[in-house]
Structure 1
Amino acid sequence: MVSPPRQLALALNHAERLSREDFLPGPSNEAALAMIERWPDWPARALAIAGPQGSGKSHLASIWASLSGARMLSAHAMHTPTLLDALATGALVLEDCETGNFDERALFHLLNLVKEHDGYLLVTARTLPASWKVGLPDLASRLRAMPAIAMATPDDALLRAVTVKLFADRQLSVDEPLIAYLLTRIPRSFAAIQSAVQTLDREALQRKRPVNRALAAEVLRDLREGT
C-alpha cells in the first residue's frame, strides 16, 4: 500500500494566550489564582507557586506581571550584579526555579533586595521551595519561611477545558469525541496533554488530515508501535 503524502511541518511558534480572561480556573489552581488577585495584600513580599509542567504557573505569573508591572527573569539567568536592574519596577517574576539551576548567593541577595526596597517577588517552580536542597543555611531558612502554594491534581473538567484551549491556541477547532478519546488514552497530566496536542497538530499537517478522533487513533497506534 502506498503511504499518503506527508507535508513538511514547519517549526512555527504558537502563541499561548496568557491574559486573565484566558485563564481556566478550577479546584487545582483556585488557591493560587486567589493569591495572585489578592496582590498586593500578600502575607509576605515573596510568594512561590509550585506545580507540574503545564499546570498554569507561567499563565498566573503573566497575570501577576500585568497587575504589578513585574519583569520576568529565568532562574538560571539570575546573576547578582544585574538583580537591582531586574527589580527596577519593584516587582519580579523568577521562573523555573529548582534545586541546582540557580546561583544560591544570587537568590539570597535577591530576597534581601526585595525586602530592602519594599518590592515583590513571585517564584514559579515544580516543587515547593522548602524542599530544595541548598548549601547556604540562611537561604534554606528563607525558603522554608516563604509562603508557597502547590497546584493540586487537575480534575476532569479542568483537563478537558485545558485540552480545548491548547487546540484553540493553535487555531484548531475540535469536537467532543476527540477530547473524550484523548483523555482516556493519555496520562492525566498537563504535560501529556500539551505533547498530544502538539503531536496531533504536526501529524495533521504532515498527513494533510483534519484533527479528529480517527487521526488521534492512528497517531497513538503509530506511537505504540514505534512507527
Structure 2
Amino acid sequence: MSISGIGKADDLEKYWSPALSEKADRLEIKSANRGHTSPIVEEYPYAQQITLSGKFVYHQKGRRGFSPTANGTYEYRAASGLFLIEIEQSNMEADKVFSEINSVVSESAQVRPIKAIDRRYLWSFFEQADQVISTKVRGPDGEKSLRNEIKTAGKKTGETGEIGTYEFSNNLEDYLLLSAKAKFTSPESDEPLVVKYHKGRFEIPSTPSDGAEYIIQLLEREIIAHSEN
C-alpha cells in the first residue's frame, strides 16, 4: 500500500485522541500512539518532533442502510504539521477523511490537503532522487515541453555506493512540473522506493518503513520547511 493522503495541520496534537470518534459521524479513531522522529536525512529541521499514529475506520455513506467501511492508518507529525494517511481501499478519497476530521476539531487545527506547491521546492525534492524515471512538464509560456528539454539523469557521486545527486538542467524553476515518477533509496535500506507525483498529490510507498520515513523527511526538509517561511 501507499501513503496517498497528505495534509497539513497546526496544533492537532492538542485535540487528537480516540475520544474524537464520539463526535464524528463516520470516523472511528482506533488508536493513537505517541512517538518521535529520529533524523535520517542531513540538516533535518524537525528532529525529535512528536508523532501521533494509529489506525482508523471510515464509514462511507451507503445506499439502503448499507454502510461500507474503509480501513486505514495515519500519522501526524507535530512540528512540520504533516498529516499522512494510508487507506486500504483504493476507491476511497483521502479528502473525505480530512473533511470528517475537520468537523470535530477546532478551526485552528483543521487538516488542509497539500495541493499547491511552490515549483522551486518541488524541483528541489526530486533533485534528491537516485533516478527520475519520468516527468511531465510545461514550459515558461505554458507550452508542453519535450522530454529531452530537461536533463533528469546524471552520474552518482562517490565511489562506495552511497546515494549521490543527479545534475539537472539550469532554470528548472521556469518549468511547471505536472507529474513525475522517481526512485529514492534510504541510506539505511538497499530497497529503492518509487514516488509518484501528479498535480499536487504524492503517492509514497509505506514499506519498508525506513525507506518511507526517509522520503517523508526529504519532503519535510525540501518542501514543508520552506513553505513555512
The structure with more radius of gyration: 1
TM-score normalised per structure 2 = 0.24
With CA pairs under 8 Å and 6+ residues apart, which has the higher RCO, 1 or 2?
A: 1
TM value normalised by structure 1: 0.24
- Higher percent of residues as strand: 2
